[in-house]
Structure formats: structure tokens, C-alpha cells
Amino acid sequence: MPIAHEDFRNLHVFEHPLVQDKIARARDVKTTHSQFRRLLNEIAGLMTYEVCRELKTRNTEVETPVGVTNGRYLDEPLTLVPILRAGIGMTDGMLGLLPEARVGHVGLYRDEETLEPVEYYAKFPPDMAQGMVLLIDPMLATGGSASAAVDLLKRRGCERIRFICLVAAPEGVRRLEKDHPNLTIYSAVLDERLNESGYIVPGLGDAGDRIFGTQ
């Protein structure tokens, strides 16, 4: 189970040994692009398993080859929304666990003058607001893009939003808690700080570059 962080009431950190082993390997500068992609998907799958404890289910009667029993099926639509581009690197790991999930996409870039996130792409399933939405981005740095993405989802009627990342900085967690106090954040680790360039320290570098081999 992810553990609620003592300093941030909305943040839940995964202390599971498998998650911690894989995030340590992903951080390693010697890890190749193919290994990095695999690790991100594996971590995403492990985290999703725990986050999905909150999904609604319905009771049903199931006929087995030798009898009848009671069972439970998922009873709400589930939508994954990666923030482009790095969020894509975690999506396959989640879909491996939840093949019935739909996938929306959010594209944001930072305006160089205002430093504010600007939406350039958004595509969602029409009934997304009827179920849980998992907003995905490997890094929670300043929190600007994540907060803008949550705003976007809320404008489309979404209420049950969960944010999933691999590495979070305190600055990003504070921004989300301020802008969206009811949002639950799940992260594999909480790191020390942001440096002067806005990178998480110690972090794992630029997740998008490491996923797609564009370093």
C-alpha cells in the first residue's frame, strides 16, 4: 500500500520493495533507453494495481465449468490520460493491467514569456466524467503542467481524478495541493528539490529524452 506522506496530506508514496528497486534502476545514468522504458512501464503497472483499489464494482453471478458462484465486475469506465509526451512512457504498463481502459491525451507546452502552460492538444472519451481518471506524468516538478491538466479535466466534468508520477519535487506537490486541494497524488518517491533549471534533484533526468532516446 502507498503510505500517506507526513508533510503532504495529499501525497501517497510507494514504499514497496519492487517499486523502490525499479525506480533506483531507472534513476541510474547507465540505464539504456530500452531498459528505462521497460522499468517505467513495470513501475506504472505496480502503482496502478494499488490505485485501482478505489474502483467501483458490482456483484454478479458467474457460471463456472462446474458450478455457479458470486463474483464482482468493474462497474465504471476508467480513463488513462498521459500528459504528452513523457506520460506515454507509463501508459502501456497500465494498459497491461487494465486493457479495458480508454486513453485520452493532453498536450501542454510552457510559454517562454509568461512561463505558464499552454494547451495545444486534448482528446478524451465522451463519457470520461462518469468514472475515475488517472492523470499520468513521470515527473512532478513545478506542478504547472499537472495543475493545468487537472483544470482541463475538471472543466470536462471529471471529479474522481488521481495523479500518478514516478518522481515528485516538494514544489510540485505544494502547487497541486494549493490549486487542487482534493486531488490525490501518487508517487514512487519524493525528492529533495528543484534546481535553478527546474529539474528535480536528484531525479532521473529528462524522462521524455530517456524514454524516446532524444538525449
SS3 132: strand
Active-site entry in 38, 85, 160, 206 = 206
- How far, in Å, CA of 176 to CA of 40, rounded? 23
Residue 206 falls in the annotated catalytic set: yes
Active-site entry in 25, 110, 160, 174 = 110
- How far, in Å, CA of 56 to CA of 34, rounded? 35
Residue 28 falls in the annotated catalytic set: no
141 Cβ contact partners less than 8 Å away, ≥ 6 residues apart: 169, 171, 172, 194, 198, 199, 200
- How far, in Å, CA of 138 to CA of 159, rounded? 22
Residue 151 falls in the annotated catalytic set: no
19 Cβ contact partners less than 8 Å away, ≥ 6 residues apart: 43, 46, 47, 188
Active-site entry in 7, 53, 114, 155 = 114
Which residues are tagged catalytic? Answer: 110, 114, 206, 209
